[in-house]
Amino acid sequence: MKKHNFYAGPSILSQYTIKNTADAVLNFADMGLSILEISHRSKQFQAVIDEATALVKELLEVPAGYSVLWLGGGASMQFCMIPYNFLRTKASFIDTGTWAHNAIKEAKLFGEVDVVASSEAEHYTFIPKGFAEKVTADNDYFYYTSNNTIYGTEIRKDPDVPCRLISDMSSDIFSRPVDVAKYDAIFAGAQKNLAPAGVTIVIVRDDALGHVDRPIPTMLDYRTHVKKGSMFNTPPVLPIYSALQTLKYYKELGGIKELERRDLEKAALLYDAIDSSRMFVGTVTDPAGRSIMNVCFVMKPEYKELEPAFIEFATERGMVGIKGHRSVGGFRASLYNALPIESVRALVDCMNEFQKLH
């Protein structure tokens, strides 16, 4: 039976990435060695990280004066690295979910934090309106989480604010064009739209570094990794190699605009099915804030007791990973770049079939 992988992360990868990575596990670059056992200092791996970095810059149209870093520690490590390196006096945040909330908590250890808007009281079911107008020019930066995997909301446009931007784009990077020049830093854990878990990509503006007075531990100082080309310590070799395969695949498909077109098409198909359903309903209250990466929905109250039955029904038909996060319940379908539209159609068919039965 064909499996349809809707896991929120680690998540689906393209067959291009999986096959090429599997081949490299057996024999990397005709070295007669596995990618798992080669030196990160070898010229063959240096070529991998150089090409991956160049493709990130090409696909996202990163301007001159920025470095692309490949770091360990996961995106959550960036919750402290960002304020360590950028927060001098004050930063503004929008609280749109668990990961934004966690980043706010860490930033408070380093300086003043202004939470300009939050939807926590309403269980993060929407993106607060007018948040950008509340950001003031005296901030070192404004920080936002572009996509909220748990709650299914997304900010799909670079905010216009009177200070620099920093964003956690872990779950929607490479799904839309980004004006990188507005940002001091963008980071993303790889395990949604890029590679297996284990590497975090950071795009950092070089001249924004080195302006805080506090001493920064060597490993937490972005300048360490910029200077050493992400080779200060051993980088996550295998995930970086997989990331390179994904980036090649994205370029072959036609780049970011084509990826966005496909993602919008997939999301529209599923949201249309939810909106027209007598049984299912979306959890995001404002359609303008709906994520095209993570679609969250539940049963209407009169059918609530059927949720476990639908999970079982869908699983029997090859749907994997559609159970909602424990803090939200219901269902979550993650529509990352590697997910084919055929899988979305299969889920919609499954929903319609279950509805007819009940």
Residue 99 annotated as catalytic: yes
Rounded Cα gap, residues 298 and 323, in angstroms: 10
Given 95, 140, 158, 168, which residue is catalytic? 168
Residue 248: active-site member: no
- Determine which one of 95, 158, 172, 192 is catalytic: 192
Contact 25, 36 (CB under 8 A): yes
Question: Which is the catalytic residue, given 70, 99, 140, 184?
Answer: 99
List phi, psi (to 5°) of 142.
-110, 130
Q: What angle do CA 205, 208, 209 make, to 5 degrees?
A: 100
> Residue 340 and residue 14: Cα distance in Å, rounded?
9
Place of tokens 């269902």: 331
Please provide the size of the chain in residues: 358
**Is the distance from CB of 8 to CB of 334 less than 8 angstroms?**
yes
What residue has token string 């900010």?
A: 155
Both tokens of 305, joined, read 């007791």
Asked if 257 is an active-site residue, the reply is no
Q: Which distant-in-sequence residues (6+ apart) come within 8 Å of 266 by Cβ?
A: 292, 335, 339, 341, 344
Distance CA 16, CA 48 (A): 16
For residue 327, give the nearest of 44, 30, 101 by alpha carbon: 101
List the catalytic residues.
99, 168, 192
